[in-house]
Structure 1
Amino acid sequence: MSGRSLLQSITFLLCCLLGSRTLPAQTEPEQLIEDVIAQEAEDGGEFTFNAAFDLLEAYARRPLDLNRADAETLSATYLLSPPQIDALLDYRRQMGSFVSVYELQVVPGLDLETIRRLLPYVTVARGLDDINVPLRTLLSEGSRELFVRASRRLERARGYEGDDPRYTGDPWRTYVKYRQRYGTQLSLGVVAEKDPGEAFLRGSNRRRGFDFYSAHLFLRGLNRRVRAVALGDFSVSFGQGLVLYTGFGFGKSSLTTSVARRSPTLQPYASVNEASFMRGAGVTLAFGKHVEATVFGSRRARTANLDSDSTSVTSLGLSGLHRTTAEVADRNALQQHSYGGSLRYTPTDRLQLSLNLLGEHLSRPLLRTPRPYNRFYFNGDRLHNLSLDYHYRLRNLSFFGEVAGAVIGGRAMLHGVNVGLDRRVDLAIVYRNYARDYRALSAQPFGESGGGRNEEGIYLGLEVRPATRWRINAYYDLWRHDWLRFNIDAPSSGHEYRLRINYSIKRHLDAYVELRSETKGYGVAAAGPDVKIDPVIPRTRFQARFHTGYKLRPALEWRSRLDLGYTEDASKGLQRGVMLYQDLHYRPLGPLSVSARLAVFHTDGYDVRFYEYENGLTYNARVLPYYNEGARSFLLLRYKGIRQLTLELRLAQTRSFDGRTFGSGLEATDKTRRTEVGGQVIWRW
């Protein structure tokens, strides 16, 4: 027996002996997905998990083989930081193939909490995804699921009132999705959705039925040459997002070293965001072991604001709402043709280079209303972007970056490095420089503001694991904007820091303290009518959070959170706020599970707001801002007592204690409460 085989055998035996004592119990995959969203989605919004964690859903049914997974595949799970991925690959290269999942315990940098999150999705045995499965088998076998969801607000908004209401439809949000999958090799699905206020089977949608439809067929790993085929709707992601990124990527979060993006170029699309996808066809081909090429073409209708003579558009719509006559008129006002590709060269497992090209052609020119802040924005009907991105690993250093340019615009670049300073300490450094005149329609890079333009900054992220139960995460970000921005009439700058100290006892306690502060320039109203330029002043926003999650019983968890904060600037002075919530989550082995929350909050206004995650219907959740004075509660019931069926019901309400009413404009209700009710039926077979 060789020395390496002997060492690996000894390692495996030790891990097996310790495994039952040290490895935490596996958690339901859905709960792990919710935990990741709850920690990292800090800016509010609604999240559809099949867009963010599509691969995790597939790996929950057909686990990923750790002996065959590459860096890109591991990164796409969002469960490992770049230093942890590098450590896992280095261990596998030095020690040979994994013998058991218990061997993860001796991989440097992998703590027990990370391993717990990985376990539901990985294996070390070759499964069906490692061989070429005939197309007929892919289509006839595998798993299928059908989602039917409906929700609405009970209080009637102004847009629905009167004999001739402004909204053309009813207040229900309706969603239907069919999905068929075979591991990660096949994804076939159809999605249909109607937003609140949109017509259904009448008016502009008399023949369409739903307002939005999406369909896709995605095949991966057909043979050695054909790596991926996408038909219908799909996502495309290049490099660090300087040119094109329609996938999911975290920005600044408590995962302080997970800032490098490394997603598969093509991925299936099964979400309801009506702006962030491609519609057409794409293919990824392998030419030998080291060269891979992806090409795609897309043609999709876009909502856009037409100008007075309908020869051009002034902006592209992103909300996906078509409720009023004016919004319906803007639907499909523009045809966007997108085409391009990526040529990837991987000479070794340590180096990867990609050359990316994206072309955009609009059926009507985009001519924005001239404003000082948008002077350097893209205008016209044709745009071409080119970029070069790289990944390179050298011992404990992992370099990544991208340099991009537009044919008719400036340049943008991002460079970063992840450093494993010690088995307990990881460091991330990112420098970004996006020129004010850099133009890209679908850029989504790391940064303070969206769009990948008019920003220069440097980010430092640190993770320290000083002891088994302790984890410390921190980052500091410093940036500046050399040109004006929306509602900011002068160049501005800012800085931000975040510190989280986490203490956990497996299967019993998860607690942390977090401090977060951000100071940046804000525009305020001018002193008088003769002043044409609004002054820019610094505003500081500080928040402190104390969070505890405790398992009262294996099936019963209690969570408590206290948020304190203030916002201060020279215009409005000091504004304070506080928020407290209590959660109970009951998830027994039986068919019925319950999640509930009661929250109270008191802030001096929207400037002091606390974003809080809320458990929602399966694969659909929200991060909402809590502000002003009031209370928020929700109750979520999930029943799995009927074979192959899951039934869900959710009720949520916000009450205002200071007499404020909810909504504005057509969404105003003149009520001091807002009640939401929703239900979902899931059939899996």
Structure 2
Amino acid sequence: MHLRPRLIILLTLAVWGTMLHAQKDTLPPGIGEDDEFQQQLIEDVLANTEDETDEFSFNAAFDLLETYRRRPLNINKATYEELEETLLLSPIQIGQLIDYRDRMGGLLSVYELQVIPGMDMESVRRLAQFVRVGGDLDDAKIPLGRMLAEGDRELYVRWQRRLETARGYELGPEDGTSYYLGSPDRIYTRFRQRYSKNLSFGITAEKDPGEAFFAENNKKRGFDFYSAHFFLGNVNRTVKAVALGDFAVSFGQGLILYTGFGFGKSSQTTNVARGGPVLRPYTSVNEASFMRGAGTTLAFGDKLELSVFGSRKGRTANLITVTDTLDVEAEDLGVTSLNISGLNRTPNEVEDRNSITEINYGGSLRYRANQRLQVGLNVLGTNLSQPLNLNDQAYNRFFFQGTDLLNASLDYRYRYRNFTFFGELAGSDNGGVAQIHGLMMGLDRFVDVSLVYRNYGVDYQALNARPFGETSGGRNENGMYLGLELRPGKHWRVNAYYDVFRFPYLRFNIDAPSEGHEYRFRVTYWQKRKLETYLELRSETKGFGTDGDESVFTNLDPVVPRTRFQARLHFGYKINSFLEWRSRIDAGFTDDELNGREKGFMVYQDLHYRPRGAFSFSTRMAFFDTDGFNVRFYQYENGLLYNARVVPYYNRGTRAFFLVRYKGIRGLTLEGRIAQTFYTDGTVAGSGLEETGLPRRTEMGAQAIWRF
């Protein structure tokens, strides 16, 4: 190690140590409490999936940060996967950090991060509150008794409800089988104990709106969904992880299996690779995206690691049944689809609940030559207790059908200086092939570039795939993505990407091969924790299908291109240490041959009051005016802690919410929230069983969190 560079670092640290002391009052809020970076990621995820849901549970994505807030990660020992799992740094930054750490023999202080190429002060500020330099025990030597005694415990109890009565609650058995069996209340509770990443166990229970609670089909069960887990990490030098109960599994780049949080096309334009550990504890309430059984990760020396798992769980599916002319007991012929909504509200939905059994088994053998090269061989087998027999439609001709599916893949990651290569090649037992390959480059301390090529075969089959792409499922798509991040000045950042893609075969409601392209451009100006403002332009053009019946192959409807454009101006200003004002204007249009040009705009004002005292609050007033759902603006809303909300604003109306938190009792957080959408153009809120007959929708919620 050279003395002169180290001396420069020490002088730099002395200067920044003084500045840090002066900025103690400007540290960011707690995880899930209005952090702009996390809000943007969540907003991107739902906007890209075009999902109209107004809730998104991101416990699995950011819950780890709460662990590191309490017991910081040792930055001098952290692996590539551990740093990647925080979601706070790009793979380019992680590679540069590890190279610097190896070259200098470790960091002297967290704020030494700022001298690493590609690390701007905003990235350092985000990371600093979750990491430390040294001072920890060897993870493999911490006894279980100590982890149980010193672990952090937390209990969540949450209640939510829409105040207007929807049509599904007014109907009953005399109206057929399409009515809600339970109340409009959503009830959630969770207990969890954990010690860093070494121990986690707990139980989660949830009742969705419309589901019965200690009544009807849940008379004995109470809650409709339960999840429990027990997870041990770093048991000893050989056993790196043990998972029992419910857990998450992720292989490679997601071509055969991925149940974690994965970056897609987002404002983090160069962060495009999947990553993280193979096994993780599961604490969310998604009723389909997890494994239930047991798994373990074993290390054979320093370079070889094997993860294996087995899972057996019930799956909600639409059964095919027939009876003969003698009216004897129905015979099951299979299922037409697998349901992932997790909703069991009506008699029909309850009948399909856990109607089949899904068994998954597999493993991942990983070879790490060093921190630069990693290769993984992954295998996944799936068995359904009833055959999947899809309805005969043109678009699903190549989809998986039957009871057994086998997938295998080979993934890799290799770093050479400032270049990181990654990818995965996968196959299914019907002969289908899918592949993705990428390159992330740190050209200098001011410029990062990412390239991603993907080619997912039309006949490739995987039930649990979630790779990078325009659509989900990892099939019938090929494309090329280019992402760019520039840091031209101390307070400036430019993010942009361009993606061109093609779908060689038909898709749902798209009765011909189609293609498209998308670009996004954002320029951001920020000053410490005082000011952040950005201008963003975003456009996507791709084919969409016109109305028609595609149930037979001879009746295919024309596909026309549709362009969606959106411009956004966002402004956030911290008036003082406890009061922040945010403002946003969105304007855009959708244009196609069938509907012509549809336009709209949205504007909101937020106020966030977070003093040192017991009470804090966030509130919003928004106005929107669009020509319909085709011109919609997805907006993040501050929700109850760990209960993020992204709501699409469309038609004409107003949207407001008020959230209050109380932390006056040690270890206890109390929250209340009310929100309302009011349509001034007379639009009726909801549709089908969710229709209220009123031009408004009001939601209330309350939550208690006890940490002890």
Q: Report the CA distance between 1:348 and its aligned residue.
A: 2.0
Task: Summarize the Cα distance change of 1:163–1:462 in structure 2 as closer, same or farther, 3 Å threshold.
Answer: closer
Contact 1:153/1:171 (8 A) holds in 2: yes
- Secondary structure of the residue aligned to 2:490 is coil
User: Within 5 A, what are the aligned runs for 1:216-615?
Assistant: 216-309=229-322, 310-525=332-547, 532-615=555-638
1:144 paired residue number: 153
Q: 2:80 aligned to 71, 82, 100, which one?
A: 71
* Contact 2:336 2:388 (C-alpha < 8 Å) held by counterparts: yes
1:102 maps to 2:111: yes
Q: 1:48-74 deviations in whole A, cap 9, x for unaligned?
A: 232212321211110010000111111
What is the DSSP-based 3-state SS (H/G/I as helix, E as strand, rest coil) of the residue aligned with 1:659?
coil
**Equivalent position SS for 2:93:** helix
Q: Does structure 2 conserve the Cα–Cα contact (< 8 Å) formed by 1:566 and 1:608?
A: yes
1:16 match? 14
Shift of 1:26: 2.6
1:647-670 CA distance string (max 9 Å, x none): 100000000000111111111000
Residue of structure 2 in register with 1:50 after alignment: 59
Letter in 2 for 1:282: G
Shift of 1:19: 3.3
**What is the distance in 1 between the residues matched to 2:663 and 2:626?**
40
Query: In structure 2, what residue type is equivalent to 1:605?
Result: G
Deviation at 1:163, TM superposition (A): 5.2
- Does residue 45 of structure 2 align to residue 35 of structure 1? no
Q: How far, CA to CA, are the matches of 1:16 and 1:186 in structure 2?
A: 37
1:22: Cα distance to partner?
Answer: 6.7
Matched residue of 1:620: which SS? coil
Q: 1:54 is paired with a residue of what secondary structure?
A: helix
> Could you tell me how far apart the structure 1 residues matched to 2:551 and 2:271 are?
47
Which of residues 119, 122, 130 is equivalent to 1:121? 130
Distance verdict in 2 for CA 1:522–1:397, change over 3 Å: same
In 2, Cα distance between equivalents of 1:366 and 1:49: 30
| Equivalence for 1:207 | 220
Q: How far apart, CA to CA, are the structure 2 residues paired with 1:163 and 1:110?
A: 60
Deviations, residues 268-291 of structure 1 (Å, cap 9, x unaligned): 000000000000000000000100
Gaps of 5+ in 1: none
SS at 2:575 equivalent = strand
- In the alignment, the residues of structure 2 paired with residue 643 and residue 311 of structure 1 have an alpha-carbon distance, to the nearest angstrom, of 57
Alpha-carbon distance change, 599 to 33 in structure 1, aligned in 2, over 3 angstroms: closer
RMSD: 1.7
Contact 1:159 1:167 in 2 (8 A): yes
Cα deviation digits, residues 497-541 of structure 1 (max 9, x gap): 000000001121100000000000000136999992211000000
Distance 1:32 1:77, change over 3 A: farther
Residues 1:644 and 2:667 are matched in the alignment:
yes
Q: Alpha-carbon deviations, 1:582-606, whole Å to 9, x = none?
A: 0000111111110000000000000
In 2, Cα distance between the equivalents of 1:26 and 1:86? 26
Mapped to 2, the partners of 1:62 and 1:49 lie a distance apart of 21
Report the CA distance between 1:31 and its aligned residue.
5.0
- TM, length-normalised to structure 2: 0.94
Q: Secondary structure at the match of 1:307?
A: strand
Letter in 2 for 1:535: P
Indicate whether 1:673 and 2:696 are aligned: yes
Give distance in 2, aligned partners of 1:652 and 1:219: 40
How many residues align structurally? 683
Cα shift at 1:262: 1.1
Give the corresponding residue for 1:623. Answer: 646
1:644 deviates by: 1.5
Q: CA deviation at 1:5?
A: 5.3
Assess, with a 3 A threshold, how the Cα gap between structure 1 residues 583 and 71 changes in structure 2: closer, same or farther: same
Matched residue SS, 1:47: coil
2:207 paired residue number: 194
Pair 1:184 & 2:205 matched: no
Q: Deviations over 1:153-178 (max 9, x none)?
A: 00000100045471100000000000
Does structure 2 conserve the Cα–Cα contact (< 8 Å) formed by 1:33 and 1:53? no
Which digits, 9 at most, give the CA deviation of each residue in 1:300-336, with x for residues without a partner?
A: 0000000133220000011000000000000010100
Question: Which residue type is aligned with residue 91 of structure 1?
Answer: Y
Contact in 1 for aligned 2:550/2:556 (Cα 8 Å): no
Verify: 1:7 aligned to 2:5, yes or no: yes
Instruction: Give the CA deviation at 1:129.
Output: 6.3
SS at match of 2:15: helix
The equivalent residue for 1:133 is 142
Q: Which runs of 5+ in 2 are unaligned?
A: 323-331
Q: Report the CA distance shift for 1:533/1:454 in structure 2 as closer, same or farther (over 3 A).
A: same
Q: Does the Cα contact within 8 Å between 2:163 and 2:697 map onto a contact in 1? A: yes
Q: Identify the range of structure 1 (564-573 vs 405-414) with the bigger mean alpha-carbon deviation.
A: 405-414
Measured in 1, the distance between the counterparts of 2:2 and 2:547 equals 70
Q: Distance in 1 between matches of 2:16 and 2:35?
A: 29
Q: Residue 129 of structure 1 contacts residue 184 of structure 1 at CA under 8 Å; is this kept in 2?
A: no
Deviation at 1:250, TM superposition (A): 1.9
Q: What SS does structure 2 have at the residue aligned with 1:114?
A: helix
| Structure 2 residue identity aligned to 1:595 | S
Distance change >3 Å, CA 652–CA 528, structure 1 → 2: closer
**SS state of the match for residue 455, structure 2?**
strand
1:484: how far off? Answer: 0.1
**1-side partners of 2:536 and 2:592: how far apart?**
23
Q: Is the 8 A contact 2:33 2:641 kept in 1?
A: no
Change in CA separation of 1:5 and 1:305 when aligned onto 2, cut-off 3 Å: farther
Q: What is the CA deviation profile of residues 10-41 of structure 1, one whole-angstrom value per residue up to 9, with x for unaligned ones? A: 41232222333379643123257742332123
Structure 2 SS opposite 1:174 = strand
**Cα gap change, 1:653/1:489 in structure 2, threshold over 3 Å: closer, same or farther?**
same
8 Å CA contact 1:12–1:102 kept in 2: the answer is no
Q: Measure the CA separation in 1 of the matches of 2:500 and 2:440.
A: 18
1:170 and 2:145 correspond: no
In 2: Cα distance, 1:295 partner to 1:108 partner: 38
The answer to whether the 8 A contact 1:567-1:574 is kept is yes
Residues 233 and 278, structure 1, Cα contact 8 Å, conserved in 2: yes
Amino acid at match of 1:7: P
| Residue 407 of structure 1, CA deviation | 1.0
* Aligned mate of 1:89, from 76, 98, 108: 98
For 1:81, the aligned partner's letter is: S
Query: Identity over the aligned pairs, expressed in percent?
Result: 59
2:94 aligns to what SS in structure 1?
A: helix
Deviations 1:201-249 (A, max 9, x none): 0110001000000000011111111111100000000000000001111
